[in-house]
Every structure is written in C-alpha cells, then in structure tokens.
Structure 1
Amino acid sequence: MNQPIVSSPRPITLIGGADPAPGILTVALKLGETVVCADGGANHALWAELNPVAVIGDMDSISDAARDAFAQVLHPIAEQDSTDFDKALRHIEAPLVLGVGFSGARLDHELGSMTVLTRHPDRRCILIGEDTIVLLCPPEIVLDLAEASPVSLYPMAEVACESDGLRWATNGLRFAPDARVGTLNKATGPVTLRPDAAKMLLILPRDALDVTVRALQEQPATWPVRAG
C-alpha cells in the first residue's frame, strides 16, 4: 500500500505533461481546486500561475523554471518502472482525481494512461480530453444521460458488464480487448452499468463530465486495491 503524498477530502486536479486542450484546465479546476502535478505538468501549472501542493515524478520533464518555482513541493520518485501518472495517482488519496494533460498528444502515452487507470482501481480518476472523458467503470454507476448520448465500453481484460439504458444491451456478453468490445453504443435514457471486474473503461463525451462526477458521488462503492 502506497503512503499518500497528498491527502484531501475533496477532488484534486492532476496535471500531466501533455499540453491540455483549451479550456480543459479551467473545467477541471472548477471541480478540483487543489492542484497536483505529475512531473512536466508543473510546466503547465507555472504558465497558468497555479500553486500545486505537490509535484510528483522522476523529474526528467520539469523545466528549470518550474523546478525553482515549486522547489518546496517536489517529490522525486526515481524508479523507471512506471509512468509519472502512475507515480502521482498512487500517492494521491482523494475521493476523485481529475486528470488533464494525459491525452491528446502521443498515442503511446495515452494508452499508458489507460493502463494506469486499470492498475489502480481503488483510485477514482477521470481523464479529461478535448472531446471525451475516460474512467475505469466502478462496480456500479447510474448516469443521467440524454437519449442518444454516446457511451463506449472498452475492456482492458476479459470482463462482463450488466447494463440498463443502452441501445445495444450488454447483458450476458463477455468482453475482451482481442474479441468483443463495447464501443459506439448509445444511451436510450439514464444508463446503469455493473461490470463484474475492475477491467472496463467507460468513455463518454466531455459534456457528460458533470453528470459523471455526480454519479460517482452518489455511488460510493469502489474497487479494492489490486493485489500485487
């Protein structure tokens, strides 16, 4: 179990090294006023005149200016077996982490971020992109979505997911990344999802962010810490 570097009873905005799309940082800060940076995310925080409570990572991407400005809150983690997003997320204790700067740049980095969501299922985190948001689907979530709103389910391993309110029902199906996936589905109204394992990514339009945050607040059940 990782000891938290940052602990908060309220949502936290975590800034990564990729350049956030216009307006995304503002959207995240409305929900999570406390700022943490993953390594090079400190460069964006400096530019935006933010004061992070911690900068976590291997410190190979932070600029000299950001390093000087945030010298009192640097938390270097030297190992190279995990990404800076992983290092930061596993050391944050909060009801929700809003991640910006982890998508929209290099595809390999974005895929790595999806893996981190699955690796730490006990950490509730929404990654906010230019057009979409992505999170690891909790044991149950009820989303008050409008009819025809896009809903995509992407399995990171074999997993089933009971659902209500989807145009194409998922009940009784088994999903896997090399077999059946659940992308390009649509809501017929409010949607309920119940995956049987912490392996299903939920991808929604960015304008569903507030609905998703409310749904997570109303459904407190979380996945346990992954063994190993």
Structure 2
Amino acid sequence: MSPLPFSTAEGATLIGGGKVTSDDLETALARAPVLVAADGGADAAIALGRVPDLAIGDFDSISEPARAALGPSRLLHIAEQDSTDFAKALGHIKARFVLAIGFSGRRLDHTLAALNVMIRHREPPCLMLAAEDIAFLTPPELSLPLSPGTRVSLFPLGPSRGRSQGLRWPIDGLEFSPGGRVGTSNEATGPVHLTMEGPMLTMLPREALDLALAALTAPMSA
C-alpha cells in the first residue's frame, strides 16, 4: 500500500539538500508556511534553525540527528529507488502550491533532474527558487502583469509551441524543443499572456515571485 500523501490547505515550502540560504527559507516560508523536507533537506532546514513539519524520501541522506529531531511521526518513508527524493516528495504533497528551495546551485545534474520532475508533476503548482530566478512549468494559459523590461525566459523540456501577447519577441508560430529553438532572454513590453502546448518552463527574476504565485493559483476561467 502506498503511503498517504501529506495534505495542507496552505502553500508548502519543500526544501532539498542543495544550496539554500536563510533568505531563501524566509522568503519561502513567508508565503508557504508549511515546511516539508525532501530527505537530506531536513538537515539543511535544521542547520538554518527550522525543524520541518515532515520529511519525505528514501532516507539515504538524512542524518541520524535530523531523524531524531523530527521523530517517527514526521518521517514519511518512500522505499522505492526509481525516482529522486524531489519526485517522491512532490508526489506525496497535496497543497495549494509548492515553493521548492535547495534544488539548484550545487550539482547541475540534481538541478536538471528537479526541473524534469516539475514537468511530470503538474499538481500542485510548483515554483522553484534559484539564486536569481524563479522557474515553473508554464500552464496551458498564463497571465502575468509584468512591468516593461522584465526578463522572461522560456525553455522547452520537450516539443512545445504557443502564442504570446506582451513579449518583445512574440512566439506565435514557433516550434520549440530542447535540441532546437529555445526562448531565453525574451522581455516583457507590459502585461504578458501566454497560451502553451507542451512542456515549457517559464523563468523570471525573483522579484516576480508574488506575481507568478498569484497567476499559478488563480481560478481557471470558464
């Protein structure tokens, strides 16, 4: 029997074992107050002075002191070895949205694996905080009230196409793919509206975090 998912009506901060700062943690918890650790992310959280509400993973990297600090009731063990701890955690969280920290900035393979997980887990909406950027899977329709000059990067993780309003270089009629055309370093001319088919990541400056969260959690139009 599969473990039951962890459920919260609020946003959840998911912390990994990669590079994470106290500012990252404070920024995330101010918006997503429930703290979940992906395996060894529990050690990262404790080192920053916070004990997670739950740790999820196969527990091959969490330390014994971190285990003891959480106690058995706050450890959700997922035994399978065919997915990353990020995938295990994201697949067992039901929340309004997830803010992922500590999944970028050190090992590039871990960062790429986390981005791969994000395109396979569409619910709940997940937004990754990196050093200077935020990244999230572009939904089929997205409206962002961005200021002129805001950097908007689009990066396909599979064949993708879409339409845009408010981009300096429109994407209408273009075919995107990881080994072909990508859309990095585009620029908003004002509010941006995207419609998208295929797995496309949107990357924005961290200053756009609240705008992105509002857009990703807005009720879908009828």
TM-score category (smaller protein) = over 0.9
**Where in structure 2 are there 5+ consecutive unaligned residues?**
none
Report the TM-score when normalising by structure 1.
0.92
Partner in structure 1 of residue 214 of structure 2: 214
Between the aligned partners of 1:4 and 1:184, the Cα distance in structure 2 is 41
Asked if structure 2 preserves the Cα contact closer than 8 Å seen for 1:41 and 1:62, the reply is yes
Q: Can you list the C-alpha shifts for 1:104-153, whole angstroms capped at 9, x where unaligned? A: 11100000000000111233100001100100011111111111110000
**Where in structure 1 are there 5+ consecutive unaligned residues?**
222-228
Partner in structure 2 of residue 45 of structure 1: 45
Alpha-carbon spacing, 1:78–1:65, altered in 2? closer, same or farther (3 Å): same
Q: Which moved more, 1:44-53 or 1:94-103?
A: 44-53
What displacement does 1:103 show?
A: 0.7
What displacement does 1:219 show?
A: 4.4
SS where residue 103 of structure 1 aligns? coil
Structure 1 moving runs of 4+ over 3 Å: none
1:31 aligns with 2:36: no
What displacement does 1:209 show?
A: 0.3
Partner in structure 1 of residue 56 of structure 2: 56
Q: How many residue pairs are counted as aligned between the two chains?
A: 219
Partner in structure 2 of residue 70 of structure 1: 70
1:19 aligns with 2:19: yes
Aligned-CA RMSD value: 1.4
Partner in structure 2 of residue 147 of structure 1: 148
Report the TM-score when normalising by structure 2.
0.94
What displacement does 1:178 show?
A: 0.7
Asked if structure 2 preserves the Cα contact closer than 8 Å seen for 1:117 and 1:136, the reply is yes
What displacement does 1:3 show?
A: 6.2
Between the aligned partners of 1:22 and 1:91, the Cα distance in structure 2 is 25
SS where residue 168 of structure 1 aligns? coil
SS where residue 187 of structure 2 aligns? strand
What displacement does 1:9 show?
A: 1.3
**Matches for 1:46-195 after TM superposition, within 5 Å:** 46-71=46-71, 72-195=73-196
SS where residue 25 of structure 1 aligns? helix
What displacement does 1:51 show?
A: 3.4
Identity %: 45
What displacement does 1:217 show?
A: 2.6
Equivalent AA in structure 1 for residue 34 of structure 2: T
Equivalent AA in structure 2 for residue 162 of structure 1: R
Between the aligned partners of 1:23 and 1:46, the Cα distance in structure 2 is 14
Asked if structure 2 preserves the Cα contact closer than 8 Å seen for 1:56 and 1:84, the reply is yes
Between the aligned partners of 1:3 and 1:78, the Cα distance in structure 2 is 10
Between the aligned partners of 1:106 and 1:201, the Cα distance in structure 2 is 20
Q: Can you list the C-alpha shifts for 1:175-215, whole angstroms capped at 9, x where unaligned? A: 11111111110000111111023x00001111110111111
What displacement does 1:216 show?
A: 1.7
